[in-house]
Structure 1
Amino acid sequence: MNSFKHMHEWRDNIDRFFGESFWNEFEGILKPNIPYVNIYRKDYEILCVINIPGIRQIKQIDCQVDGYNIQIEGDITIPASGYELIEEEIVQGSFNRTIELPYRVRDDKVNARYEHGLVWIHLYKDVQDNKKSRSISIKDGDK
């Protein structure tokens, strides 16, 4: 007996009963936010550490800072050609995530680097009222 076949049948029945948009309400719960992020703060500084494995070139990541948010997008690909994927815990694929910051940050004083699969973004609290967006340049920390 294929239990996955029965799970798909169950989902199809739910779709027919509630409508196909039923699952959209659960997307944020069922689909994990990637990439994973840790945010730290002290005094007037914020440190964001973003988990993005498998980046071969920094230009695979696009990162913007905009006042209270960091917008980051790219693609996580783990090449294992010739193998069949049996279990996947490291989420792969395109991502586009907005990271909400605890307070407004400066766009002229940003340091970012990619090192050992992590993007480290060091930001500073903005004490002025400035509302423009700025692209973040990430440096390769392995070199």
Structure 2
Amino acid sequence: MDPFQQMTDWKRNMDQFFGEQFWDQFEGVLKPTIPQINLYQTDNELLCIASIPGLRNLDKIDIYVDYATLELRGTIDIGHSGGTVVKEEILQGVFERKVPLPFPVRSDKIRATYNSGLVFIQLHRFISDSSRKNRVTVELLEDE
């Protein structure tokens, strides 16, 4: 059995008892977060760079965007087997990561590319027509 899966199951049970926010401060200790990401922001764009080594089939990663959340799902598998592990720092396994974004993004203007073990995800700010100021006309009511 995958030791990370056991920790995930244990954490889920403890979340029910203590509440999810209690464990947020321990997230990096209990289970290191994969994939590792960098998130860069300009006025109207975001660039998320995710480290996913060994990705040979691009259908093995799922990227979802929902308003102001980016979700990454997949598997990191460096493809080596055999021998006894002496040191293991490259995290592997199945991952599911939700990244809160600093602002809502457009679902129709997303570009994801993969190069040299990195996934580059370009996102664009969602600017709603309804967020613009609309002048309200004041109507005079006559006293009856």
TM value normalised by structure 1 = 0.70
Q: Deviations over 1:11-58 (max 9, x none)?
A: xxxxxxxxx959x94751311111001000112011000111111100
Q: Which amino acid aligns with 2:28?
A: I
Residue in structure 2 matched with residue 114 of structure 1 by the alignment: 114
SS at structure 1 position matched to 2:27: helix
Q: Distance in 1 between matches of 2:127 and 2:79?
A: 44
Q: Distance in 1 between matches of 2:38 and 2:28?
A: 19
**What is the identity percentage for the equivalent residue pairs of Structure 1 and Structure 2?**
41
Larger gyration radius, structure 1 or structure 2: 2
| Structure 1 unaligned spans of 5+ | 1-19, 131-143
Q: Does 1:98 align with 2:98?
A: yes
Residue in structure 2 matched with residue 28 of structure 1 by the alignment: 27
Q: Deviations over 1:94-130 (max 9, x none)?
A: 1000011110000000111011100000010001279
Deviation at 1:82, TM superposition (A): 2.3
Residue in structure 2 matched with residue 71 of structure 1 by the alignment: 71
**Is 76-85 or 108-117 further displaced after alignment?**
76-85
Structure 2 counterparts to residues 1-143 of structure 1, below 5 A = 21=14, 25=23, 28-30=27-29, 31-128=31-128
**Aligned Cα root-mean-square deviation (Å):** 2.3
Matched length: 110
| Structure 2 unaligned spans of 5+ | 1-12, 131-144
Q: Distance in 1 between matches of 2:106 and 2:26?
A: 32
Q: Which amino acid aligns with 1:126?
A: F
Q: Deviations over 1:40-78 (max 9, x none)?
A: 011201100011111110011011011101111111111
The higher-RCO structure (CA 8 Å, 6+ apart) is: 1
TM value normalised by structure 2 = 0.69
